[in-house]
Structures are given as structure tokens and as C-alpha cells.
Amino acid sequence: AVVSTQSTGEEEEDPPITKYPSMGWDYQSDTIPNLYYAGTITHGTDKRVSSGGFIHGFRYSSRSLSYVLAARNHGIRWPSEKVPLHGITSYILKRMNEMNGPYQMFYVMTDVYLRRGNTVEVFKDVPNGLLHKIHELLVEPLEMSRDLVVVRLEYGKDYSKVGGDPFRKERTELEPARAHLCNFIHPVLYHFTKTPRAVPIRTKALKGEQHKLHLPEDLYTDFATLKRHWVPLNNFIGSIWNVDMSYVSIEECLLQHLTRAGMSVQCRRPLLSVGHIDRSNVRKIPDWELSQKFLDDFVTK
């Protein structure tokens, strides 16, 4: 805004006014060391970017704060779980349909998949602004090499465009090859072979990725379709990590075993023996390893 001063007749700008204190992505004050903020006040890091000003958003930033303090003050690394490399596509697919933090805190909360040989370590709900300090969160040396994939949910740049037509013909994009044009919330994967670069608060960008993949939007946020989600995701993982991620059925594995043919990597791990699973209950299976075996039943489109 611009105001007029009666004394000089000159115009001068209003001083900047904000109701949020100055803080970093770790929720620590920029002016008072060791003072951390929690709750709705942490919306100062994602104002006009995400939902940190409301309970459905800052409950996740508050939990992340506890993980930051545990790593920084007590040497307790960010909670994680380990997934076999050849089961990671099914795991990511299932996680994308269930991740609450990245859904409510779009752009800001991310899932980090760190490859360690034939295992992938998964770290959930990591703030995007702390990715450049991933070594601190994992309580590891900075110089360690890391190959990681970051997954988060994003909206298209024209989703809430002022004066835009919400019913325009090109608003929805369902083709995988054009998923980068999606406007509704959809998964985006970033591949980093080096530590991501730092980004300022209240920004949507991630910096330093080697590869990037957009997956198509869905009105019901169902990211488990075969052709639009599983196939491009699986191809992306196989390409960036140079691994054969092709699907091998149990029947093919059995044939390889009986004929003493060369066993593919996908067949070297023991498969769980399960009976008939009703199609309506496939999504409720707690063990992510089963989703690849029952892929044809898992997808309905």
C-alpha cells in the first residue's frame, strides 16, 4: 500500500507487517537461538503455500519438530523402515494412497526413499526445507554419498488461478506423458544423487534434482491404477536406479526353479504363501509385499 504524508507531500511505502515470527524450516527462531515454535504459529514457514496454520496441518509439523529435536539434541535419527528394493514400487504405490502428512501439508511434507544397495530406507513426513540437512536428521556424516527419491503431493500452478475457469476443457490431465500439466493434487517424484539444495521458507520449489516424474491426478485421489500410475512409477524407479523392475509372476518363478534356469532377481526372495484373497479386501492387506503379487486384482482401471 502507498500512503501520503501531509508534512512533505511525498509518498512512502508502509512498513512490512507480519503476524508470524521469523523462523527457519526447523521451526527455530532466526533471532533467538534454541527457541523453537510449535502449533499454528509455524504457519510462518508455509504461509500461502500449505496448511500449516490449521490443526490438520500443524499436527504434522509439530511431530516433525519432535524428530528434529531428537536428532539434534539426542542423536536419535529420524524414524524409518526398510523395504527390499524389488518391493519398493508396490510400497510407494500403497503409500501414495495413504500418506496423511504429505496430503494435508502438500508441497511441504515429503517422503524420502534412500537407497542402500538392495534395500530402500523410508523416512516419512520430512519437511522439504530440511532436505539439505538430511545428514543431520539421519545422524550421519555430511560427506556420505546418498541416492534418494523424494515423493510429495503438489497442485498445478493454475489450480486456484484468480479469474480462471474451473470448468475449462483442459483443466484435467489424465495421460501419464502429460501429467506435468495436471492442476489437481497429484504425486511428484524427485530423484537426487547429491544432497538437495537449501530453499527459503514459504517456497514450493525443490532444487538440485537429477530426474523428476509427475503422476496423473485423480478426482478421488486414487493413485493405484495400472497404466496411469503403476507402470510409469515402476519404469521410473528402474531407470534412475538401473535395476530390472519388471514384474515376474509366481508361475514364472516356479518354472525357473523347476527347469534350473537362471533365477531372476525377483524370484530369489521367498514369496509369502497366501490363499485366495477377495478382491474387495485387497486394499486392506497390511503387508505391502502382497500388492505386487496381486497387482491384477489390486487395480480396477
State the Cα angle at 239 between 180 and 222, rounded to 5°: 45
pLDDT at position 162: 66
Q: Are 208 and 196 in contact (CB under 8 A)?
A: yes
pLDDT computed for residue 168 by the predictor: 74
- How would residue 5 be classed by pLDDT, with cut points 50, 70 and 90? very low
- Beta-carbon neighbour count of residue 91 at 10 Å? 19
The number of beta carbons lying within 10 Å of the beta carbon of residue 201 is 18
Quote the pLDDT of residue 261.
Answer: 65
Cell of 295: 497387482
**What mean pLDDT, rounded, does the chain reach?**
82
**What average pLDDT does this structure show over 69-78?**
96
In this prediction, residue 283 carries a pLDDT of 40
The tens digit of pLDDT for each residue in 276-297 reads: 333 333 343 333 344 444 443 4
Contacts of 194 (CB under 8 A, 6+ apart): 146, 208
Closest CA to 184 of 127, 227, 129, 223: 223
Predicted confidence (pLDDT) per residue in 213-235, tens digit: 999 999 888 998 888 999 999 99
pLDDT of 71? 96
Minimum mean pLDDT range among 80-84, 103-107, 139-143, 211-215: 139-143
What are residue 3's DSSP bridge partners? 12
Who has greater pLDDT, 167 or 157? 157
Contact 221, 99 (CB under 8 A): no
Confidence of residue 31 (pLDDT cuts 50, 70, 90): very high
Nearest-angstrom CA–CA distance, 104 and 43:
13
Q: Is the pLDDT of residue 7 over 60?
A: no
